[in-house]
Chains A and B, each alone.
Chain A
């Protein structure tokens, strides 16, 4: 439990010691540590293996751009692969393990890949593994797949909760570093509603990692005070541990707030919250990311970014080596040397590619100006570096700085292209920013502290001005500007070994050159061919360097060579966070019918119908197979009476002086002549002439109609009708209300249905056959004054009614109906029996009106009135839709009545081959008919109406079924419709 590499100072809380383990080894750190800083403090250098060559790797950065130090965090179902140690807040009991090695981390057997490197150059796999063809899936690919990937999912359901939320603000400030804090103070003190978000748990950004001063105080102290000042304002929401991951249209920003990732247990609280932030203005203060210089063997543990080495020392009070060398092409790299030297750390060398006067003096260090690091040594951790002049200098840590890249990512999320600035040798935001976005500070290419603070202030005031808010006249934060001169330098040419660009994916300078040699020169080709920038860090430290090498190869400038497109998310976001609470049973809402509770009491089996749950059948005691229940329900209904909840049908209330005309234009059949008190079956077409939906419409009064639609199409039919009303016939006086959920509706079917209804319908309502004939409708009262609507319509082919009451009476009504029906032997029936009876009757349903069939196919061609305008009328006359030899809906029965039919079978003429060219149609619906005692089916077959009596094959290869079926009328029972009118 040593903290061998801990020094004094820092922003850690030494009163809170935290124990954790890495690869099972017990270690300790302090509150305020990241896993990375704690590993460094515990002198842990080798923490990971690279993707392809399985090279030993150590911590490289101190932020979310980390390419190397990915670990598997936590255990069991909370196991979290590919977690960056550099942004993982240390907590008590944290367990981390390394990933992507065979055997131990120290002795990874796959390190053999490193020896094979000459044969594993960029894109080698495109050129081999092709023979024999069958070997790919069986041999090559499994090996490649097993050695690829990094961490491992647990394979268990993620047990944590995730929430979503929506926030609105005047100004969203992304990043709480010096620029962000400065902008936030300017905007917030003037009264704007401000959200300030930062991915770190400690606001301040680089201010926490540097030794400079703001307003005469240490920068970190200034940052803490500024954050506290902002947090105290009621118009500010300060969000730490929050990554703004994407800039979407119209000022909508996506952000992920980590609520419990820094705790041992989430204790039932949401782990993360996915915010959608609606911002009138956004100020991007995302800072900059340091980039390395490529040189031979620049990937050893101990070789780190210079700014990260400095951050570990200043913020986390830990030094990743006892003898540190610095390699830089800019002044900023020198600060790492001077800061560390001031802390008493031995600096063995400062190597600067620029042949200038050293910008600082570093006691005891060899200073090599105009020089380069040409090689390094130390298999599992750096031991020495070699300079261009051949000198070998001992060092267990090399701090490398190749300059800083502004974090322009979010400026590109709406296709903006960054622009190149030679003076800082980096890309900065281009002209085309997401609307409402302002960029400030290092993200804007302003890389020194004083300038950054004033740039943030400027941005805050610019946002205010554009929102019409007056700025407050308060002093802005002030600091000096540190030296930051740079001379672009991308890679050291004098070195023979591989020089890494993309550390995680093992892309080296040689790979870029090979891509150039083979013609993959466009940036996107380069990326895709070499896998540059495709790893979990998305090449944040690698891409610009690689572009520079390609530019060198092609002889073009870097901006001419191009830049890749940055896409969301800025840092990776868990799938579960995007899903939030919409998972498991809560994936989608569940809609319940008014009789649901009653049906549950009866032990009903339920089935999904869209979002609805409907009773599928009602098993009775002793029934062991669903068919038993369904057959009984059919027999009881056809023999006496049955009741079915049909509330799920769409119901549209249509009123207005032009309601009749409107409906007449919606349905293809005539509705203008429908009398008050009557219902009619209606078929509606899409404008392309294909059948869209069917149902019934009742005329309750001169200007009042009620339409039913199928359950599946309730929403789309309503939308369509509103389109017709508002867009096509805006002058019509007609209004629509969806009343699906306002009315509970039950089918009461069977020869005793009238007798049953008479038990509950109030006596002053005449529902006799004469007073209320087939296709009558009316408003009645039931059970002593409860208003209801009654429709004499039938889907089952029996004497039948549908009765509707306000939804709140639905439960009472089903109970009243069932108890009134006891003396008739009433049965409740579910969707299965409903389906059996409609197939027996030959009614089309969703399987037949499936968006591919015409009225003519359905045998309803004559319904399409040619005397009026209606949707779909004109285009239904196109030649291919109006073919004499087209498909027709027919009935089918097995020649051998003992055989079962299957829906989805295709029809093949007798003695023909089952092949596409002989395909004549398909079976759309089947049922076992308890009335007929055999299997029956509905289906579409070419020229069906001319082929009654013909025997064809119903072939169903996926279920190994091939049945000879006879083509017959689709109306299996009561084709004359006598029962309906009884």
Chain B
């Protein structure tokens, strides 16, 4: 079934009786060519691109709960490609380009809204660091504009320019950055994958891997054993737990990232605003809620909830730059468990076990990467070699000192 304005109109006239399930609910088969472990955004995107772009058939996505129940369902919906390092920037720019054509591609309106993202700077040194980053973006073909204070005033006149503890001097603006309706991404990919024959198996938890002499031959699940020629793990947030079942230790810690949404408000914030001297970023959803967040709580956890010190820290950051949001009320706060890697950058790689692939370590930035992560993972799985924009995301990079450390924080995950 194709979605369109006409279809919505027609169904409206006929009692909306003709809508079909967005994806099937099949029973697991005994064997697939490729089993993707994890029905989050990245897993579903991987399945979609494997089927659609790489000609693979006979694919299953196994998900322990409901699809999209991981971080694609609990993030602050920001997309951008404002990265510094050559190992990252081309990848994220590739991702942003995929976002730009995604809805027409998978025929689902995920509300990709390119209203821009600005990172504020507060000192000359920060300005120069942003210039370095903006230039890296421009060299990679992305868009980046370095704004001075007047430019920021024009873009966000409501910021506190007069009384700020850390005066706002300007910002790095990426006009093509923005937000996407996060759940719709999971659903769009699921529907698209399903249309291309992928079996989406919900409530199907992987409990182990079938590994024979260093070769992965399938998975054990709560719905029985499933044989597979290739098994691709894609469970950010639970990576260590799942890969432990294959006997692997990872350069990853699990941490909680909190996010917040206010009650609905009439439009007041244009795009995404990031505070450079505190931990705070904000956008406004199409429904009117201010969606905002800040730092991770900073301790290892698998609990999808955080604590008050970070809640207060984030709100302080908000009030520091835009005291007009003071009377907006926080409606809901939630936490997502993220894979914090040792250099703040992700992994898309084969493992030492033949037929077993790994995708994870997305830290707090996996959402924006969803299309490229899926595409590049599909490329690796189907072709056996990394996609050119993802060659540096190797699991063994620390052995050689090839860190991709945007922040320069070193091997301490909670600092990235």
Contact = CB atoms under 8 A, between A and B. Distances in A.
Contact present between A and B (CB < 8 A): yes
A729 interface: no
B307 A128 contact: no
Contact of A575 (B178, B315, B411): B315
B3 A128 contact: yes
Nearest to B268: A153
B286 to A, nearest CB: 5
B89 A916 contact: yes
Interface string A113-143: 0000011010011111111010011000100
B205 interface: no
Interface stretch (A210-218, A353-361, A951-959): A951-959
Contacts of A575: 262, 315, 318-319, 325-330
Given A121-B16, A569-B333, A847-B128, A127 B111 contact: no
A149 B264 contact: yes
Nearest to B14: A118
Given A160-B326, A580-B312, A583-B323, A51 B264 contact: yes
A567 B330 CA distance: 11
Contact of B326 (A133, A413, A538, A574): A574
A862 interface: no
Nearest to A918: B139
Given A157-B160, A576-B327, A956 B267 contact: no
Contacts of B65: 522
Nearest to A686: B410
A155 B181 CA distance: 25
Nearest to A956: B135
Contact of A136 (B5, B112, B323): B112
B136 A919 contact: yes
B37 to A, nearest CB: 19
A380 interface: no
Contacts of A882: 401
A574 B327 contact: yes
B261 to A, nearest CB: 9
Contacts of A902: 128, 131
A101 to B, nearest CB: 12
Nearest to B115: A137
Interface string A941-977: 0000000000000011111000000000000000000
A588 interface: yes
Contact of B136 (A121, A133, A916): A916
Contact of B139 (A144, A583, A957): A957
Contacts of B5: 128-129, 131
Given A517-B19, A608-B166, A878-B401, A922 B202 contact: no
Most central of A121, A847, A904 by chain B CB within 10 Å: A904
Nearest to B303: A415
Contact of B328 (A153, A519, A879, A925): A153
A259 interface: no
Given A150-B264, A567-B333, A141 B8 contact: no
A593 to B, nearest CB: 17
B111 A572 contact: no
A158 interface: yes
Most central of B65, B115, B122, B129 by chain A CB within 10 Å: B129
A234 interface: no
Interface stretch (A77-85, A279-287, A394-402, A765-773): A77-85
Given A81-B265, A904-B132, A919-B86, A959 B146 contact: yes
B136 A82 contact: no
A118 B12 contact: yes
B165 A590 contact: yes
B403 interface: yes
Contacts of A881: 401
B307 A249 contact: yes
Given A572-B263, A587-B320, A878-B399, A518 B20 contact: yes
B23 interface: yes
Nearest to A80: B327
Contact of A578 (B89, B315, B407, B408): B315
A573 B202 contact: no
B146 A585 contact: no
A415 B304 CA distance: 8
Contacts of B181: 126
Interface stretch (A223-231, A367-375, A461-469, A524-532): A524-532
B132 to A, nearest CB: 4
B268 A688 contact: no
Interface in B109-163: 109-115, 122-123, 125, 127-136, 138-141, 144-146, 158, 160, 163
Most central of B111, B132, B166, B172 by chain A CB within 10 Å: B132
B354 interface: no
Interface residues of B, number: 123
A136 B8 contact: no
B256 to A, nearest CB: 11
Interface stretch (B100-108, B218-226, B239-247): B100-108
A156 interface: yes
A535 interface: yes
A133 B407 CA distance: 35
A850 to B, nearest CB: 5
Given A136-B112, A141-B286, A686-B411, A905 B400 contact: no
B4 interface: yes
Contacts of A126: 3, 108-110, 181, 184, 187-188
A522 B101 contact: no
A268 to B, nearest CB: 16
A157 B324 contact: yes
Contacts of A956: 131, 135
A916 B115 contact: no
Contacts of A531: 287
Interface in B237-292: 262-268, 277-278, 284, 286-288
B69 interface: yes
Contacts of A851: 405, 407-410
Contacts of B139: 906, 914-916, 918-919, 955, 957
Contacts of B264: 51, 82, 148-151, 535-536
A475 interface: no
A125 B19 CA distance: 14
Nearest to B65: A522
A322 interface: no
Nearest to A579: B319
Interface in B1-22: 3-5, 7-9, 11-13, 15-16, 19-22
A389 interface: no
A146 interface: yes
Contacts of B303: 414-415
B4 A141 contact: no
Contacts of A846: 125
B111 A585 contact: no
Contacts of B317: 587
Interface string A666-683: 000000000000000000
B164 interface: yes
Nearest to A908: B139
B400 A522 contact: no
A582 interface: yes
Closest 10 CB pairs of A and B: A851-B408, A149-B288, A158-B326, A904-B131, A576-B326, A878-B401, A572-B329, A578-B315, A519-B21, A522-B66
Given A584-B319, A608-B277, 17 more contacts: A82-B264, A118-B13, A121-B16, A126-B110, A127-B8, A129-B5, A136-B113, A149-B264, A153-B265, A153-B325, A157-B324, A254-B308, A518-B19, A580-B316, A582-B319, A686-B410, A914-B139
12 contacts: A128-B3, A151-B266, A154-B327, A155-B158, A157-B160, A248-B308, A580-B312, A582-B316, A583-B323, A588-B320, A687-B410, A881-B401
